[in-house]
Amino acid sequence: MPTSDFLTLYSPATVANVVCGFDVLGFALEAPFDTMHLRLTEQPGVTIVHEDDFNLPTEPARNVAGAALLALLRAAPAGTGFEMRINKAILPGSGIGSSAASAAGAVVGANQLLGSIFPKEELVRFAMFGEEVASGAQHADNIAPAIYGGVTLIRSAEPLDIVPLSAPPLHVTVVHPQIEVRTADARQILKQQVPLKAAIRQWANVAGLVAGLLKSDYQLIGRSLEDVIVEPVRSILIPGFAAVKARSLEAGALGGGISGSGPSIFMLSENEATAQAVAAAMREVYEQLGVDFHIHVSTINSTGVRFA
């Protein structure tokens, strides 16, 4: 067990893409979250200990949290070293930002130990190196909400431009069917060319979703949760997707879709009662299909990584 000189933090799960906002929109969840312990060491470099049963690599360059810390160390005072202990509650491959939670938690905790010398945007840049280890691409749509909290818009990845968005109270229901969808595979099947008509509809939905969040307009949020580009391709990898979506809408959800690259599916609701009804609908679909699953009902986490 960690001793008292460790800093303890909780790094949240996140939902990326948010239906129409592929690679540009994301939000943080209150639960589940990873628990991480960090401390400064006299020996330079990074030491990683996993306190869970996922058998993730502990070599820093091959570990998402380790890669993020190595990026931070390149800008930190010479001779800096960290020991990090990780207990993951966000299942790897779940589509709710497991790799982002590790990477974001690592750099936020390290920055705290160093006296908060780096701004949040710089922490996102460091953590994106962890995402590159996980998926082969440096994307920030999970990392940004994990660090900033709430809902975030990645207006630009290069140069990095992150826009935190205000949002009305929202409840989130997430179902994680126990199948594997690798992020790299889910990206590979996407079409590289998009018809102009589809692109225009997608742009309108992203604008409508952002406007709905800022105006606290639940009906506009619901109308805008439509993806005509990515979801039609990726949903074929997720058994029961169409039934979950249809039954969730019948239960009163505003809308939703694939969380990240899947296999998790999320739905937004105005209140907890509806979110619980959506959870019951999701449960019934997967029980009928005979597919094991986990369900999370949460609100949006407004703070991101938090300290114990």
Active site residues: 131, 183
DSSP H or E segment with residue 34: strand 25-40
Its sign, for the CA torsion 46, 52, 56, 57, is positive
Please say whether the beta carbons of 27 and 151 come within 8 A: yes
- What is the C-alpha separation between 246 and 19, in angstroms, rounded? 15
Q: CA-CA distances (angstroms) from residue 59 to 48, 55, 70, 73, 80? A: 7, 12, 11, 15, 17
Residue 223's nearest CA partner among 254, 244, 260, 246 is: 254
Its sign, for the CA torsion 264, 270, 276, 281, is negative
- What is the C-alpha separation between 90 and 31, in angstroms, rounded? 9
Neighbour count for residue 32 (Cβ, 10 Å): 21
Burial zone of 193 (CB within 10 Å; 0-12 exposed, 13-18 middle, 19+ buried): exposed
Which residue type sits at 159? P
- What is the C-alpha separation between 294 and 264, in angstroms, rounded? 9
Residue showing tokens 């639960």: 31
DSSP at 77: P
Residues contacting 300, CB < 8 A, separation 6+: 27, 28, 29, 30, 150, 151, 167, 170, 172
